[in-house]
Structure 1
């Protein structure tokens, strides 16, 4: 039997019907993925059962997609440590940024047994003091816990709400082409969480130009799951009922200070995990075939080029 957390009956039903999970075959699927990792000279990855089943579920049990996603996950974290938490993570420093609460995941899933809900509040940080790559790295400590522990998010996916109330020009100027491309590629190609929708609320004038710049970087599926609500909260509530938002938004899904405090405790408990992460990553000098061309990989023209994982 695989050494993984048992799913609730509701989640197991979703995993079978939507993720192509066959409970009696999980052991074999995990073993196949582990064998492939062990055969890659350039890749040092975690190979425990829970880690591998997360990628299998995130890729609907396509072994080839799971291989590619693990490779991309470690490749990007190794190559761009200033953008993604992987090597040399200073938890004590990043936790100070995390406490700002720019990006948080809420305790109760949507409709109680649906996707996890995340909220990004851009105005929660001062762009004169921090840049968004720092905010992103701090938030990824929370995302790593989701990957490690949150079966609701892994099986049902994640819905994000982007609240852009009171943002400054400095916030928008930080979303450079290079940063936008890296974040988009990493989340879509390297993270085994299925985004189920993105909702923009309180969008300022001129934001459409920024959004239209990022939009072509997304897959067609993700573009079709993006919703611009402006100041029309009722349009948001039609898809995400208000009760599933924090108290500060008139909901019942925890208060933001309490949510931040709870996540802070969980992140601090992971210090040893990030020390261990220094043992994992990729070495491009050892990659079979052509090395990854990072300049073209994140060029503004063209799409993300498939990594050599076979």
Structure 2
């Protein structure tokens, strides 16, 4: 079961939902490239495919795309531990020892991308939240190259999660991950489902509330062990077998997804060259590291939607 790319029909559906067209996109890319050439602190090395997906993920807002392009290159300075030295073979090789993560191979009928996190190791000592975060951002980079969707639905299997896992995951790491996920990769979280909610779910939700914006917090749902409430929101075909769905075996889905990285190992490593030069940033253009980026110098939050 190979991970499928969006079909031409799905691409057309996404564009229709956003009220854009092929011509609109081509014009938008030209405008963004003209703006990019006027930014002495930013590399020019970003292809049209990534710019198009930023435009789609930002709901066709040119100003938000500019903000995200700035973040895409500038956040590498802020979070080098997450965005630099990313060898997929090393990151994924370590990550798969303690957790299984993958996107479902098909989009939902409304062109949302479902991603699954499951099989977390029982021993918190074997759990590495930094490596897991780097793997999530590898996926985000891959989606920026290949995906075409209207947002993300996350399924997180909490079956083996203990207090030790939660305590090992620092709030600073989660906030950085959230900033990069939304700001640099323009991903929009439509729903977050915690399944097999454990006894420490209150502790988990405290961490979630501290790390995520209020709008996303309202999209978080928990499902008790043995319940079928997840399927009030998703068809079983969009959920792996192990979680009660019919979407296929989790490990097979994960391995199919891992194979997509191997031809891109050199490309991922080459991206370390393309980082903003903050010493050349125009004086009237402030980089709001903690509160999102703004092309006009203000410290504004990026919208989720």
Query: Scaled by the length of structure 1, what TM-score is found?
Result: 0.84
C-alpha distance in 1 between matches for 2:207 and 2:242: 31
Q: 1:114 to 1:97 in 2, by over 3 A?
A: same
Mapped contact 1:102–1:125 kept (Cα < 8 A)? no
**Equivalences for 1:192-211 in 2 at 5 Å?**
192-211=186-205
Q: 1:106 aligned to 97, 100, 104, which one?
A: 104
Show the counterpart of 2:153.
Answer: 159
C-alpha distance in 2 between matches for 1:177 and 1:6: 34
Q: Which runs of 5+ in 2 are unaligned?
A: 298-305
Q: 2:87 aligned to 87, 90, 97, which one?
A: 90
The Cα of 1:269 is off from its aligned counterpart by 1.1
The Cα of 1:207 is off from its aligned counterpart by 2.3
The number of residues matched between the two structures is 291
Per the alignment, in what secondary structure is the counterpart of residue 51 of structure 1?
A: helix
Q: 2:253 aligned to 236, 259, 277, which one?
A: 259
Mapped contact 2:159–2:197 kept (Cα < 8 A)? yes
C-alpha distance in 2 between matches for 1:199 and 1:6: 23
Q: In the TM superposition, what whole-angstrom CA distance separates every residue of 1:91-128 from its partner, at most 9, and x where no partner exists? A: 331121243443211112234x6311111126247531
Mapped contact 2:121–2:127 kept (Cα < 8 A)? no
Mapped contact 1:106–1:254 kept (Cα < 8 A)? no
2:24 paired with 1:30: no
Mapped contact 1:201–1:232 kept (Cα < 8 A)? no
**Equivalences for 1:18-97 in 2 at 5 Å?**
19-84=18-83, 87-97=84-94
Mapped contact 2:195–2:222 kept (Cα < 8 A)? yes
Show the counterpart of 2:303.
Answer: none
C-alpha distance in 1 between matches for 2:66 and 2:11: 24
Mapped contact 1:45–1:74 kept (Cα < 8 A)? no
Q: 1:280 aligned to 268, 271, 274, which one?
A: 274
Q: In the TM superposition, what whole-angstrom CA distance separates every residue of 1:202-244 from its partner, at most 9, and x where no partner exists? A: 2222322332343254334322221122336321110012232
Aligned CA RMSD, in angstroms, stands at 2.5
Show the counterpart of 1:136.
Answer: 133
Q: 1:105 to 1:6 in 2, by over 3 A?
A: closer
The more displaced of 237-246 and 43-52 is 43-52
Show the counterpart of 2:301.
Answer: none
Show the counterpart of 2:12.
Answer: 12
